[in-house]
Amino acid sequence: MPMQLHQDAPRLQVPDRAEETAKMKIDRATWAGQAFARYDRAAVMRIARAVAEAGHAAATQFAEAAVAETGMGVVADKVLKNQLSAHPLVDFYENLDLVSPKVDAERRMIELPRPAGVVLALTPATNPVSTLYYKTILAILSRNAILFSPHPMARRCCNAAAARLAAAAEAAGAPSGLIQCIEEPSVPLVQALMGSAKVQVILATGGGPMVRAAYSSGNPAIGVGPGNAPVYVDPGTDQTVAARRIIDSKAFDNSVLCTNESVLISQERDRSRLERALRAGGAHICSEADVAKLRDWLFPGGHLNTAAVGKSAVWIAGQAGLRVVGTTRVLVAPVALVGIDEPLTREKLCPVLGWALVSSAAHAASMAQMILRMTGAGHSAAIHTDDPQLALDFASALSVYRVVVNAPCSQGAAGFATHLAPSFMIGTGYFGRSSVGENIGPQHLVHWTRLAWNSDPSVRPGDLDGLRAPFAGPEAAPAVPLPFSAPASRPVGEGGVDRDLLRELILQELRDLTRGKS
């Protein structure tokens, strides 16, 4: 009987340390977001510039760290991506004011920007630091606090990068806790964070299951779908130039960008000319035997071998049993058909390019649409042609929201070789079952309160000129919550507890309860 009582006795529930730490980070981010929402645009841009400079200065350091930790990609290319996600990103949005109220006297309306609050940002292993830079600057330009949950394979480089950007932001006047990162990420932890009522929006970049989990979390989410970009080369265009652009794009950072070309489509009558151009650009054209070996190694059991992601063409060739020269940049695999029966026409995230032949431009468009219907709907496609009408006809036949013309698709769809918005989140819209169809920017992290006066001309709205903007500044920020700022100078009572501070916290908790908060 005593033994039974012992077994039935309540056991001490030890809280999960990582989850409790993450909850404290969210509380800290909540305070930081409330404080930052009081800053004016000059302060916001000063902080954004300081963060961009800190990121730019450490671009090489974190590129090397990312490749060393994940084993994916090319250091030089990651350096460039990190740099492009710093000053050029701030420059692009220099004239987009998401801070100041907009007064439209003619329409009798004032629009007041309202930041989301706390942004939970997921970062992938493929582009860890560049994505962290990019999402941080988006959050700052929209006056939001941001908490990162990095892919476990890239947690060290992401935590180091987040700490550097946070220090730069705070030195420029940002509130403490504006930029934070989870030290020990895990699937259960990120799922718990995504469901937190204190998270206002999720920026989900990663695998399909994680993006779907973000959408089903109960919190607003902006997610992106997989890419699988088809690229068509028109016989009338310069084949050498087109081939060089495609090879440069496909080899860039070993194809870890989801915007890279996945399947090359060209006309049968142009095969020899394009093949010579591809070889000249550094491609290895696989024989039938090579294609069989590559398919078996890259898609064992019909599923992508993730060991290939972000690896070089030479390394992949060696693993698959192909003989190639050491300067090979891309493996081109001619295939007889496209679709579910040919795995080499799926997304691969490595420098392996399927190649299919067609009889006409119309056939090319229908084949490209077939590829996108399998995977990559809403994402990206590319065409190389000197005929604008052909480019328009090709684009109108495809279920995508960006078609890159005469440019590398990896950089073009991401806004680094075109005038699209620079982005590491490629919205796939309704075609791809996403909420946004454009490249994600800071404007997607702000909603607007609209003060709309009576439209009857006889009802005067009053003087709308000279209104004072609601920028109280950091001096009017709410009190910082424990455990982040217990003042050392205040008297401490018995047991080491600051009684005045404890009393303040209890009163704040009671106020929150009366407002219906938990």
Q: What is the pLDDT of residues 162-220, one digit of tens each?
A: 999 999 999 999 999 999 999 999 989 999 999 999 999 999 987 777 788 888 888 99
CATH 3.40.605.10 fits 21-91+114-224+441-447, yes or no: yes
Q: Is the pLDDT of residue 451 over 60?
A: yes
Are 18 and 170 a contacting pair, CB within 8 Å? no
User: Please, which residues bridge with residue 119 across strands?
Assistant: 146, 201
Q: Is the C-alpha dihedral spanning 11, 14, 16, 21 positive or negative?
A: positive
Among residues 258, 286, 350, 409, the one annotated as catalytic is 258
Q: Is the pLDDT of residue 1 over 50?
A: no
pLDDT tens figures, 241-296? 999 999 999 999 999 999 999 999 999 999 999 999 999 999 999 999 999 999 99
pTM here? 0.88
- The whole-angstrom separation of Cα 332 and Cα 396 is 27
How high is the mean pLDDT of the chain? 89
Q: Is the pLDDT of residue 9 over 90?
A: no
Domain boundaries, the chain: 21-91+114-224+441-447, 229-413, 488-518
Among the listed residues 260, 250, 252, 205, the one whose alpha carbon sits nearest the alpha carbon of residue 227? 260
Provide DSSP, 275-324.
HHHHHHTTEEE--HHHHHHHHHHHSGGGS--GGGTT--HHHHHHHHT---
Rg (CA), the chain: 26
For the domain covering 229-413, report its CATH number: 3.40.309.10
Q: What percent of the residues of the chain are helix, what percent strand, and what percent coil, each to the nearest 5?
A: 45, 15, 40
Known active-site residue 258 = yes
